[in-house]
Amino acid sequence: VFWNQQVEMLPRGDMAAWQSYKVEKVIERVYEKNAIYKERMAELGILPKHITTLHEIEKMPFTTRRDVAVNYPYGLLTMPISGVAYIHNVQDTVTGNTAMSYTRNDMIMWAELIARMLVAGGVNVTSVFQIIAEPEEVAGKFSMQYGLQQIGATLVPQAIGSRTDMIQMIHDFGVTAVFSRASTIVALAQETGKIHVKPEELPLQNIFCDMQSLSERTAEEIQQAYGIRPVGIYGMFDIWGMGIAGECHCGKGLHLQEDCFYPEVIHPENGQVLPIGQTGELVLTSLTLEAMPLVRYRTGIMCSLDDSPCACGRTLIRMIKT
């Protein structure tokens, strides 16, 4: 089942053409509308006209979380604040505060990406969805509700309180799908005895976990406890939210939303772009974000990419976590 079959099954050649077009546009945008990007590009002697093919993006400097923190809150905007509809901010005294700004169109994009990701993982209009997130995971969940609204699923109140309260809520509200950190959902399975049910007796059908929290071992623990294979999804808790990539039922990696994010895998030390299939650090360029596009953002995530056909029919490239 697809949310947006046209995009999710776009032939690879058409996707590359779209990405190439959007990369040119985003580089023009940051050069013309943001002084920091313009200055950095000038230092390297790069003009937007020097980047006309997809792989020429390699000429552009990377951006990092530090850049976002140093230029907090509005330094990386490409428009006046009046064009911004929503700001997502994470206070972090150690690594620096971050604030990400989004236009109305940007929020519509997130809703679309979340809807695609959740539908690929089994959510539909009959789903009763609950977000079980730790306080610091607020960015990962901000966009979830918009995607759920698109699908028409039911979003129940967020679980707060003790773990027993959380499991009681899943039971009482008839929750069929959750987004949770893997360790939390494992811990919840041990609480079910306190409300006199077995984990497999809960109405749960779909368990979504942030990819970074989901190891092979925790995935097995979840499968054993609930009889459900967890679905890995990818996003960030401080920069961009969940929705960048998500698993389909094939479990062969996470389909990356390539029409909105152009992926590269680089050698983490020398920054060289690695061929498809090799493991390195994931670098993402936002292709459609308007307010605060990031070019060649270093995610810090180690993975490889796989563009071979997937049995689900999606042509979107897959991230394979290592």
Measured between alpha carbons, how far is 158 from 164 in angstroms, rounded to an integer? 14
22 interacts with Zn ion by CB under 5 A: no
Phi, psi of 165 (to 5 degrees): -60, -40
Q: Which is nearer to Zn ion, 37 or 208 (CB)?
A: 208
Among candidate residues 142, 115, 95, 125, the one with its CA nearest the CA of residue 237: 142
Minimum distance from CB of 231 to Zn ion (Å)? 11
Minimum distance from CB of 318 to Zn ion (Å)? 7
**Token pair recorded at residue 47:** 């003009």
Minimum distance from CB of 253 to Zn ion (Å)? 8
* Terminal Cα-to-Cα distance of the chain (whole angstroms): 27
114 interacts with Zn ion by CB under 5 A: no
Binding mask 210-249 for Zn ion (x = CB under 5 A): --------------------------------------x-
Strand intervals (E) in 68-152: 86-90, 98-102, 128-132
Whether residue 63 contacts residue 37, with contact meaning beta carbons closer than 8 Å, is answered with no
Q: Which is nearer to Zn ion, 202 or 305 (CB)?
A: 305
Minimum distance from CB of 310 to Zn ion (Å)? 3
Encoded amino acid at 46, one letter: I
Minimum distance from CB of 64 to Zn ion (Å)? 30
Among candidate residues 216, 275, 214, the one with its CA nearest the CA of residue 246: 214
Residues of span 125-184 touching Zn ion by CB under 5 A: none
Only one of the segments 57-65, 142-150, 178-186, 309-317 lies at the binding site for Zn ion (rule: CB under 5 A); that segment is: 309-317
310 interacts with Zn ion by CB under 5 A: yes
Pairing label, strands 297-306, 280-286: antiparallel
Binding site for Zn ion (CB under 5 A): 248, 250, 310, 312, 314
